[in-house]
Structure 1
């Protein structure tokens, strides 16, 4: 019974936190609108979301390449699996995030 109860409690807690966050945010926004605040306060920049998807995409590619390189290192060298996989995942994930930062910086300069 405990094996079923623990995941149920974890998912219920996560759902509760998100529900409270969203309902509180909605109440705050409604209160601001009732007081006459402009609704444009709540709009976010669209370029931020495109940069976010680029960042996650580049991170995923970096992690994938890190796993591939770690597999090759483990197979063809004497490096242990416990060292190869985390080091290559963090190395290539970090490299691709740095590359993403440079791309975003270049785009910001062009604007």
Structure 2
């Protein structure tokens, strides 16, 4: 590993840490200011909770879509298409389709809960 690789990795990770740190501290300051002004604590819980099963469903369908994309990309490469085009295109297309299917399934499940 040369010095530029180490420097680039250090810059990337420190930037990510800085962004997360600023986000969390500013959110904390906003909440403290609202509490000091007498706002109700229910303001912080107004959003819908993201359940663990929805996350697993999203990841599973994304992985299935990526796997199908790799298989279709390989078959397109065997058919004569350039592998630099077939693999990324199929991975993104089928991964996106997997996330889209996951969105519709999660929406249907949320309607059934209500």
Q: Common fold, TM-score beyond 0.5?
A: yes
TM-score band, normalised by shorter chain? 0.7 to 0.9
Q: When the two structures are superposed, what TM-score results if normalisation uses the length of structure 2?
A: 0.76
- Aligned pair count? 110
RMSD over aligned CA atoms reads: 2.2
Point out the more displaced range, 42-51 or 18-27.
42-51
Q: Alpha carbons of 1:12 and 1:105: their partners in 2 closer, same or farther (altered >3 Å)?
A: closer
2:27 to 25, 28, 31: 25
Q: CA deviation at 1:6?
A: 2.3
Q: Alpha carbons of 1:68 and 1:15: their partners in 2 closer, same or farther (altered >3 Å)?
A: same
Question: d(CA) in 2 for partners of 1:22 and 1:46?
Answer: 18
Unaligned runs of 5+ in 1: none
CA deviations on 1:67-99 (whole Å, 9 max, x unpaired) are 12212332x321210121022112211222232
**What's the counterpart of residue 62 of structure 1?**
65
Point out the more displaced range, 36-45 or 46-55.
46-55
Q: CA deviation at 1:45?
A: 2.0
Q: When the two structures are superposed, what TM-score results if normalisation uses the length of structure 1?
A: 0.78
1:81 to 83, 88, 93: 83
CA deviations on 1:34-82 (whole Å, 9 max, x unpaired) are 22211122124225664344333322221122112212332x3212101
